Structure 1
Amino acid sequence: MADEVKLYAFAEGSFVCRAKIALNLKRIEYENIEEDLSNNNKSADVLKYNPVHKKLPVLLHNGKPISESLVIIEYIDDVWKGVPILPQDPYEKAVARFWAKFIDDKCMPALSKVYSSNGDEQDIAEACEQLQILENELAVKGTKFFGGDNINLVDIAADFIAYWLGVLEEVTEIKLVTKDKFPKLTEWADNFVNCQVVKEILPPRENLLALFRKRFGKA
Structure 2
Amino acid sequence: MAEVKLLGFWYSPFSHRVEWALKIKGVKYEYIEEDRNSKSPLLLQSNPVHKKIPVLIHNGKPICESMVILEYIDETFEGPSILPKDPYDRALARFWVKFLDDKIAAMIKTFFRKGEEQEKGKEEVCEMLKVLDNELKDKKFFVGDKFGFADMAANLVGLWLGVFEEASGLVPLVTSEKFPNFCAWRDEYINCSQVKEYLPPRRDELVAFFQARARAAAKK
Give the structure-1-normalised TM-score.
Answer: 0.89
Q: Note the C-alpha offset of 1:196.
A: 4.0
CA distance in 2, matches of 1:147, 1:69: 19
Report the residue type matching 1:152 in the other structure.
G
CA distance in 2, matches of 1:211, 1:18: 19
Match of 1:31 in 2: 30
Match of 1:173 in 2: 169
Report the 3-state secondary structure (helix = DSSP H, G, I; strand = E; otherwise coil) of the residue aligned with 1:6. Answer: strand
8 Å Cα contact 1:25-1:197 kept in structure 2: no
Correspondence for 1:79 among 56, 72, 76: 76
Alignment of 1:1-219 (within 5 A): 2-37=1-36, 40-105=37-102, 107-118=103-114, 120-139=118-137, 142-174=138-170, 175-203=172-200, 204-217=202-215
Q: Note the C-alpha offset of 1:197.
A: 4.8
Give the structure-2-normalised TM-score.
Answer: 0.89
CA distance in 2, matches of 1:191, 1:118: 33
Q: Note the C-alpha offset of 1:143.
A: 2.3
8 Å Cα contact 2:189-2:195 kept in structure 1: yes
Deviations 1:148-176 (A, max 9, x none): 33321111112121111112211222212
Question: Quick check: 80-89 or 195-204, which moved more?
Answer: 195-204
CA distance in 2, matches of 1:76, 1:132: 32
CA distance in 2, matches of 1:114, 1:216: 11
Q: Note the C-alpha offset of 1:54.
A: 0.6
Q: Note the C-alpha offset of 1:199.
A: 3.1
Distance 1:64 1:81, change over 3 A: same
8 Å Cα contact 1:24-1:197 kept in structure 2: no
Q: Note the C-alpha offset of 1:70.
A: 0.6
8 Å Cα contact 2:89-2:144 kept in structure 1: no
Question: Quick check: 45-54 or 198-207, which moved more?
Answer: 198-207
CA distance in 1, matches of 2:81, 2:182: 23
Q: Which runs of 5+ in 1 are unaligned?
A: none
CA distance in 2, matches of 1:197, 1:20: 14
